[in-house]
Amino acid sequence: MGHLIANKVSNLPSWDSSQLRLFTMLAEELTLPLSFVSQVNELMRVDSNARDNDNLLKEAQKQFEKYLGMSEYLECLNRAMSKQIELLPMNPLSIVDQAVQAHVHSLKESGHVLKLQGNTSALVLGHALALKGVVDLLLRTFEETATRASRLTIDVSQRLDYVNLIISDTKSILNRSMVKQMIDRSHRQSQTLAESRCSALPIVLAQELTRVMNGNLDFQRRRGQAQWIISLPISRQLALWD
Amino acid sequence: MDHQFADIQAACTMGLAKILLVESEESWASLVCAALSECQIDVASDADEAMGKLGKPGDYAAMIINLQLPKNNGIEILNERVSHVDLLAIPAIVYSSERGYSKVSDEAWQAYHVSAYIDQNELVKRLSQAVSEVLNASNHD
């Protein structure tokens, strides 16, 4: 009997190291937001005034939505790593626009301005949820590291066989060495950089989602702006639309 | 309303309890403000802003500092405070989610003139009591 169970266990699919790393990062990163929601609940139990505190309820909702989105992208990545998603030709501008719409409200509340501009009709070979996730996660890194109200732009343009999506922020404190440190630290225990409180998880997740679309993610500071550069290969397939 | 909230209310209605909170995240700042709803709380989002607000140290009855801040961390505020006698008169309560801080001894916190360290996961449970203790101690001085 024991032998049979051992056989069944060994037949279970095992996670590779990058899946395990992301799972561990998510578990670690969820601790504080879950603690926040639990403490909001505790406060509402002991102090009836807190129940009418709209600000607190809004913050709890924001935390919940942020991590719900993150788990959706993680699930998408997991399917991609298991070769369960298919890359299709798609218009990057329309996907980026969907990601931007999800941020419009929170950006406006924080006084940020976001402009989307594109001068290409080239299609990329990608996955809609993965691409939306990359843009969403990277916009989040800027929202979390902007020192004050900033001007964000997303520029979509073609460069040789790639479409480049450049997300720029005028007020983010992120720099190349901070990004490198965060990614390096994500291999160890502490994934949050004390200077920014931005965690490595959105960056590593965006990096992996870009990779499954055969693209590349880079970071640079240029003319005082922090920039994420997502390069995705142009689709050579004929699309049924456009 | 429980006993701790009543204590804070008593201390705050004396018109003395203006507290400086140094917290970069809106969500946690909202939670602290709600937990100490009877106090007047001024929020600084980083060390520089906090030091600016502390220009008139007599304004604050206590300060609450998250040790993980953007740019300079909370320890730098504590260091700065140690070198200014005026600022040392303001009791400091610190908190963090970084597990390493929970291993710091009471003696080490005392060297930084910190009245209480709170694990961020226990903020609601412990903050109001810690604040009422420092306010009461200040009132008795």
Burial of A30 (0-12, 13-18, 19+ CB in 10 A): middle
Amino acid A26: pLDDT: 78
Across the interface, whether the CB atoms of A59 and B26 are under 8 A apart is answered yes
Taking CB atoms and an 8 Å cut-off, how many pairs form between chains A and B?
A: 72
The radius of gyration of chain B's CA atoms, rounded to the nearest angstrom, is 14
Amino acid B81: pLDDT: 87
- At residue A12 the predicted structure's pLDDT band, cuts being 50, 70 and 90, is low
User: Rounded CA gap, B90 and B60, in Å?
Assistant: 7
The model carries a pTM of 0.72
Q: Residue A8: is its pLDDT beyond 70?
A: no
Tell me the one-letter amino acid at B68: Q
User: Rounded CA gap, B71 and B76, in Å?
Assistant: 10
For A8, the enclosing helix (H) or strand (E) is helix A2-11
Q: Which residues in chain A have their CB less than 8 angstroms from residue B123's CB?
A: 39
Q: Residue A138: is its pLDDT beyond 60?
A: yes
Across the interface, whether the CB atoms of A46 and B5 are under 8 A apart is answered yes
Q: What is the mean pLDDT of residues B57-77?
A: 83
Q: Which residues in chain B have their CB less than 8 angstroms from residue A50's CB?
A: 34-35, 37
Question: What would the two tokens of residue B72 be?
Answer: 């300079």
What is the greatest pairwise CA distance in chain A?
67
Chain A residues 15-44 with a CB less than 8 Å from chain B = 31-32, 35-36, 39-40, 42-43
Across the interface, whether the CB atoms of A42 and B27 are under 8 A apart is answered no
Contacts with A63 (C-beta within 8 Å, 6 or more apart), sequence order: A33, A36, A37, B27
pLDDT tens for residues B7-28?
A: 544 544 445 579 999 998 888 9
The secondary structure of residue A172, as a DSSP letter, is B
Q: Which residues in chain B have their CB less than 8 angstroms from residue A31's CB?
A: 97, 121
Amino acid B3: pLDDT: 44
Burial of A83 (0-12, 13-18, 19+ CB in 10 A): exposed
Find, among B34, B128, B25, B111, the residue nearest to B67 by Cα. B25
Q: Which residue of A has its CA nearest to B38?
A: A49
Percent of residues, chain A, with pLDDT higher than 70? 85
For CA atoms A25, A149, A55, B3, the dihedral sign is positive
Percent of residues, chain A, with pLDDT higher than 90? 40
Higher pLDDT, B26 or A237: B26
Q: What is the mean pLDDT of residues B64-81?
A: 85
* Residue in the structure block whose two tokens are 């689709």: A235
Higher pLDDT, B58 or A222: A222
> How long is chain A?
242
Most confident range, picked from A67-71, A145-149, B9-13: A67-71
Amino acid B32: pLDDT: 95
pLDDT tens for residues A86-104?
A: 899 999 999 999 999 988 8
Q: Could you give the angle at the alpha carbon of A154 between the alpha carbons of A87 and A161, nearest 5°?
A: 45
CB A80 within 8 A of CB A212: yes
| CA distance to A110, A142, A175, A210, B26, per residue, from A114 (Å) | 11, 11, 20, 22, 21
Q: Which residues in chain B have their CB less than 8 angstroms from residue A199's CB?
A: none
Find, among A74, A169, A201, the residue nearest to A129 by Cα. A74
